[in-house]
Structure 1
Amino acid sequence: MARGFEIVSEYADQGLHLPYRTTKQAAGYDFEAATDFTLPSIWKGNFLKVLWQLHHGQSSSETDLDAAAKVLKPWLVPTGIKAYMNDGEYLLMANRSSNPLKRNLILPNGIGVIDADYYNNDKNEGAIYAQLINMGIRDVHIKKGERIAQGIFSTYLTATDEATVTTTRTGGFGSTNR
Structure 2
Amino acid sequence: MADIPFSCSCGDIRGTLHSATPQGGNHVRCYCSACRAAALYTTGIDPENRGVELFQTTPDKISFQQGHSKLSVFSFTPRKLLRFRASCCGVQMFTMLPTPKFALAGIMTDCLEDCSAIGPVASEAFIPQDDGSTKHSSALKIYGGTIWRALVARVTGRWKQTPFFDIATGKPIAPVYVPSAEERATLPF
Q: Please indicate, yes or no, whether the TM-score normalized by the shorter chain is above 0.5.
A: no
**Which protein has greater RCO, CA pairs closer than 8 Å, 6+ apart?**
1
**TM-score normalized by structure 1?**
0.26
Structure 1 or 2, whichever has the larger Rg, is 1
Higher helix share: 2
**TM-score normalized by structure 2?**
0.25
